[in-house]
Structures are given as C-alpha cells and as structure tokens.
Structure 1
Amino acid sequence: MEKSKVYYCDMHATGRMNLLEKLKFLMRKAGFEDIDFNDKFTAVKIHFGEPGNLAYLRPNYAKVVCDYIKELGGKAFLTDCNTLYVGGRKNALDHLDSAYTNGYNPFQTGVHTIIADGLKGTDEELVPINGEYVKEAKIGQAIMDADIVISLSHFKGHELTGFGGALKNLGMGCGSRAGKMEMHSAGKPTVNQDLCIGCGQCIKICAHDGPSITDHKATIDHNKCVGCGRCIGVCPKDAIQASMDEANDILNCKIAEYAKAVVDGRPCFHISLVIDVSPFCDCHSENDIAIVPDVGMFASFDPVALDQACADAVNKQPTIANSLLDKHGHDHHDHFTDVSPETNWKSCLEHAEKIGLGTREYELIEIE
C-alpha cells in the first residue's frame, strides 16, 4: 500500500500567524478543501472533557474547524456520544451541561452541540461490518445521519488502549452506550443489587425478557440476554453495569472495527493535536501533568497513519520531570507502555491496517 500523507506543524506562533490561524493553514495544506461541503451535514467528533479535567482541547480549536466548514458551505455541528460509566456525560442533559461548562456551546463555537446517541444513549444505528470481533456496530444516530465526519482529537495517553487518538475518538467515541459496552465487555450486563430500586425500566426496554424483579431487585437472565446494553441506558440509578472484562488487545481491535463502521462510505478528515499529553484519558475528572512537551498539530485523510505519526512523534520527545512517565521509568522504551504497562497501542493500528482502514506507513510533511 502506498504511504499516506500526514501533515504537521509545530506550536510556534508569531505576530504573522497565531495558533488558530496555523491550524486552518495546516488543514488547507492537507487537502481539507478537496471535500465537497456544500449543504452537507458535517459531524465534528470531539471529546468535550469530563468536568474537572483541564487537559481537553480548548473550544477555540473546534471553532476554527467549524468556521472553515461553514465557509465552504457546510452545516457543521459538534458531537459526541454518552459515556458508559457514571460521570458528567452519561446522558444528554448532563453531557450538554458538561460541554457547555467547558466552552462547547454555540456562543463560543458558533455551532450547535448534539449528543449523537440521544437522551439516554439509546439512539443508535446498527451498522453491519461483519468484522472479526464485531458483526454489527452500534453507532450514535446523529453521527450516522451526517454526510461528512471530521475527527478532532486530543492525542494523549490512555490506561486501557495505550493512547487515545483519531481511532479511539472515532471508534469508542462514536459508539452508543450499548456500543461502548460491546467494546469493553466480552459478556453481558449485570445488576448491582445495592443500587437497584426495582423500578422495572429494564424490563420495559428489553425485547428478550432478560431482566426480572424479585424482592424489589432486578436480575438479568444471561440465557435470554443478547447483550444489546439498552437496559444500561434506561437505568435511573446506573445499577446495570457492563462487566468491563475484555482483554485490552481485543478492545483495541473492536475500536478499530467501530472506527471503520463510522468512516466507511463517506468523506472523512482527521486532525490530532498533540498538546497537553496527559497520561490518561480526558474521561477522568482530573488530569495529571503532561508526560512530554507539546509537539504540534497533525492532519490527514488516513486516521491510521495519523495515529502512527502522532505516536512516533510523542516517543521521540523527552520526558517531563516529575511526570508519571518520569516516575515510571523507561523499561519498555515506549512512553505509552511505560506509563500503562498492561496496554499495547500497536494492536489497534495493526488491526485497523488489516481491515483496510488505512496504513501505518506515512510520509510526514511539515508545514512551515
């Protein structure tokens, strides 16, 4: 396969061009205007950041992307899907509150914010992919309704996948709550009896008679349960939980297959900002100091090449003193593995390449 082009610029700015102008310049050089945006609904997939975390991307960058789309005639909106875990983004109302608090509101970005999988994380489209691990991806409906998908990712470490970049932003990020359960779990949901109030919402949503209530507490019959995860979305007390038992390598492969479900059949473009490279995901309600200095901005039509280029760039950086990377040492000679030794970020890229999502071979083109 021919090498993919990945465009890069550093984070230096001058009076002639600030960082926001530099981002737009990078996008143009990378071929952004080759996409026909005219009257097209364009989903800009981003992580809004969990409340309390300050490493997430500033909304100023998202505004540049959305303004550029509108300038080219497109109908841009910012989007993400609800989280599987309990936090500030588990349903659309809390999610919008969190997004708006972190600056992702129409007054700051100039576009609307849409939670793609709806109020309770159950608005999804089933996308047949017949993958090795996933046969039918569960993707947030608004993302699948879009004509074009742009991923704007904060490139950082991750405690399960090694790092979070374009593929994780697309794969895990675009999965509905049931989709996230499928990626994280090899099994089926269970009920935390201490949290269950016996309301019966799980019984109403289930098409397979899996849940039942005894002594005001729900249980799920795994012989009937098909693992769709819709009960997770409707439970008002978050008593129904995924088992979170999937091996990290298989999790990475599922993420790659979900990412392919998102991008297949329509124009896509991918941007990653390798700044504030925190050791863990922006899903945390806190962030530790960055593990390496800021690197720059990267863009490509190929999300696999983009992630590979960003990972290579991070691994070339010196360690920031007193960061988790500094404290963990360099036994593995890879910054992400040194921070989270149980992870293997290469497994996601290898599988993504195997299923035709892109190539790990890239030509890095620096933009001055």
Structure 2
Amino acid sequence: MVKQDVTILNKIIYKYARITNPEDNQPEQIKKIFPDISPVKKGDIVAIKIHPGEYGNTTHIRPVIVRTVVDMVIKEGGIPFVTDTTTLYKGMKLNAAELIQGAAMNGFTHASTNAPFIVADGLRGGDGREIKINGDVLDSITVASGIAEADSMIIISHGKGHPASGFGGAVKHLGMGCLDRAGKIKVHEVGKPSIDPEKCIQCGDCVEVCPWGAIYPPRIDHSKCCGELSCADACKNEAIIPPANASFKMQKRLGEAALGPIKALKGRIGYINWVYDLTPGCDCFNFSGERFVEDIGILAGTDPVAIDAATIDLINERMKINGKSMYHLWGVDPSIHLEAAEKIGCGSRKYSFGNL
C-alpha cells in the first residue's frame, strides 16, 4: 500500500471560473498552478492522461489546456506524451486506430498539443502490467503499459456527472481510464446483466451496441459479456436488467483499482480537475447534454481523493440551491468510489483550499 503524507497532499488549489482580467485566463492559471503539483523530474517520460471525448461530444476538455500542461512539462525538462486508453463499448475508442482518429477529430493532434498522442494499452487494449493492490475485493489490477512504464504523470480530468459512478474526475481516471482492457473488465464484470423475456421484443438494439457478440435475445452469454451495460442503455423497453447492487459493487472496484496506477508510478502524479461545462453525462457520450450547474473553475493537487472530494463539494454547494446534489443526476452516490479509494490508500477525503 502506498503511504501518503496527508499534511502535504491535501492542499487543493482552487481558481474560481470567473475571470476579471485577460491575464487570468485558463492557460495562465495552469502555468501558476503547475509548479505546486508537478511530479516531473528532468529526463522523465511524462504521461499526460486525458479523455479526448467521443466524436460528437463538444464539452470535453479543450486542447489548449492540454497544450499548456505539455509546455510546462517540457519547461521542466520532461518528455511528454498525451495519452488515453481503449474502451469496452462501441465508439471511436474501441481500438487504438479509431481512438487516435477520434482524438484528432476533436482537436487533439501533435500540432495542437505539442506532443504525440499515444494509446497506452496498445492496438486492441491488451497491453497492460499487473499491479498488486491487495484490496477488499481486488487483489490486483492491470494498468495500461504506456502509463505503468512512464516516469511520472499529469492527469487532467473534466469534472462532470457519470451514470455509473455519479461523478467522473481524478479517481475515475485512475481506476478506469488508466487501465488496459483486462483491468476495465475486472471492474465491470459485476455488472453482467440478464434479459427479462417478457419485456424483450427482440428488436436487436442491444445486439448492435455489444462489441463482444454476447447477446442472443432473450439470452446473454456471460462468458463473453464484460458487464459494461451499454446494452441496458440501448434497450428502450428496459428489458436488460443489471444485477442487484451492480453500481455499488462496480464503484468499490473502481476505487480500489485507482491504487494500481499510483503504485506503478510510485505516487508521482499531479492532478488537475477542469470543472467547466458540467453535463450529467460523461465525455464517452457522443453528444453533450445541457449544463446542470454553472462553471466551477480549475482545481489542482497531488491527492486524487481530496481533489475529487473538493470538486464534488463545490458542485453540491451550487446544486443545493435547488435542493439537489450530484446524487440526483443518476441516482448514484459518488462517495462510494471515493470511500473505497481512501480506504485502500489512494488519498484522503479531507482537504483544505490553498491560494493560487
């Protein structure tokens, strides 16, 4: 287990979204923040982990933010590469070729970011390194090799809602986005659903979205199923039924899996949460929903649990005006994966705000 000095790691830098002068724009904020969170040493190969968004999504993090971080890494003597991993669902991230193409279509190219875009888990998501984590539910997890073999990393997360975890931020990036395909399956396998034959009309929508050939309505072959549940989202008749407590079990695994990348990089990770364009859905959606709350700003730190806790608190503070919280977006409590991450040693939900 990675031991962390809470007195150092729990200072969260927060810059409110409101800008009062041109010198206070987002790139300048990143430049001011970076020295306080940077793990970069001269000569490091540095992973800049992002989610470039599915094609059609327009609220993902902006390339100019990534470019600013890349330039700061270069200034400190690091060798940066921008990276992401393949997915379990159909879209332009199912394999490396389409992921690179989709990222370019959303503006993430060498020309725009000043660094190569590398898919960390290989052509089909099978390139990973097993890391022992000794959790309550996960003994080990497989981290994408391009991340596990880096010297240090900066994770830039778009803070937003998420249908499976309630919130998507730094911990979600660690416990899902930094894993290879086998690792993602390990987190999702508790979600393998069944089909209610009385509701199923055998329309084939679920078959269309499943990339694994696991669905034969009204039956699902669990030996092929990954438990990712895009099939349930596609079913208009709600005939696909996830297991009881699937969300809770998945979040527990997500939180524990977050320790894998932290151990692989010996804790040498800095975190930036870009909390603008807050939509209920994640950047994996190929569209962008309406914002559910006004822009929050930029948070940064070296503790992933603390930065997400601070981000969620700030969002909930805005939402409580209408008597709501992030739980009400999807009926999912995001504190579950933060608690699991905290328990296994990824960080602490206690934090204090520092000055920019």
Q: Same fold (TM over 0.5)?
A: yes
Q: Does 1:134 align with 2:124?
A: no
Distance 1:124 1:349 in 2: 24
| Aligned residue type for 1:256 | G
Query: 1:13: how far off?
Result: 4.8
CA contact (8 A) 1:4 1:305 kept: yes
Provide the alpha-carbon RMSD of the alignment: 3.1
Q: Deviations over 1:69-126 (max 9, x none)?
A: 0110001111111010011110001100100111111010000011111111111111
| Aligned residue type for 2:24 | M
Query: 1:318: how far off?
Result: 5.0
Q: Does 1:21 align with 2:11?
A: no
**Compared with structure 1, are the counterparts of its residues 131 and 22 closer, same or farther at alpha carbon in structure 2 (3 Å cutoff)?**
same
Q: Does 1:299 align with 2:303?
A: no
Structure 2: gaps (5+ residues): 1-5, 195-201, 215-219, 227-240
| Aligned residue type for 2:344 | I
CA contact (8 A) 1:273 1:297 kept: yes
Q: Deviations over 1:163-199 (max 9, x none)?
A: 1010001111112122212111227799x9x899xxx
Structure 2 matches for 1:157-176, cutoff 5 A? Answer: 157-176=161-180
Residue 94 of structure 2: which of 85, 90, 95 is its match?
90
Query: 1:156: how far off?
Result: 0.3
**Compared with structure 1, are the counterparts of its residues 36 and 282 closer, same or farther at alpha carbon in structure 2 (3 Å cutoff)?**
closer
| Aligned residue type for 1:338 | H
| Aligned residue type for 1:348 | H
Q: Deviations over 1:200-225 (max 9, x none)?
A: xx9xxxxxxxx9xxxxxxx9795xx9
| Aligned residue type for 2:12 | V
Distance 1:134 1:67 in 2: 37
Q: Which residue of 2 aligns with 1:147?
A: 151
Structure 2 matches for 1:1-368, cutoff 5 A? Answer: 2=7, 4-11=10-17, 12-28=19-35, 30-32=36-38, 35-186=39-190, 222=223, 245=243, 247-264=246-263, 265-317=266-318, 330=323, 333-334=324-325, 336-341=326-331, 343-367=332-356
| Aligned residue type for 1:345 | P
**Compared with structure 1, are the counterparts of its residues 51 and 38 closer, same or farther at alpha carbon in structure 2 (3 Å cutoff)?**
same
SS at match of 2:258: helix
Q: Deviations over 1:122-142 (max 9, x none)?
A: 111111212111122121111
SS at match of 2:277: coil
Structure 1: gaps (5+ residues): 197-201, 203-210, 212-218, 230-242, 320-325
**Compared with structure 1, are the counterparts of its residues 221 and 354 closer, same or farther at alpha carbon in structure 2 (3 Å cutoff)?**
closer
TM-score (norm 1): 0.79
**Compared with structure 1, are the counterparts of its residues 120 and 308 closer, same or farther at alpha carbon in structure 2 (3 Å cutoff)?**
same
CA contact (8 A) 2:37 2:271 kept: no
Distance 1:244 1:114 in 2: 34
Pairs aligned (count) = 320
**Compared with structure 1, are the counterparts of its residues 36 and 150 closer, same or farther at alpha carbon in structure 2 (3 Å cutoff)?**
closer
Query: 1:15: how far off?
Result: 2.7
Distance 2:282 2:242 in 1: 16
CA contact (8 A) 2:40 2:46 kept: no
Q: Deviations over 1:47-73 (max 9, x none)?
A: 010110111001100011111001100
Distance 1:188 1:340 in 2: 19
SS at match of 2:184: helix
Misfit runs of 4+, over 3 Å: 187-190, 219-222, 243-246
Distance 1:140 1:17 in 2: 36
SS at match of 2:24: coil
**Compared with structure 1, are the counterparts of its residues 60 and 132 closer, same or farther at alpha carbon in structure 2 (3 Å cutoff)?**
same
**Compared with structure 1, are the counterparts of its residues 73 and 118 closer, same or farther at alpha carbon in structure 2 (3 Å cutoff)?**
same
| Aligned residue type for 1:98 | G
Distance 1:247 1:220 in 2: 18
CA contact (8 A) 1:37 1:74 kept: yes
Distance 2:260 2:286 in 1: 29
Distance 1:152 1:221 in 2: 34
CA contact (8 A) 1:185 1:244 kept: no
CA contact (8 A) 1:277 1:291 kept: yes
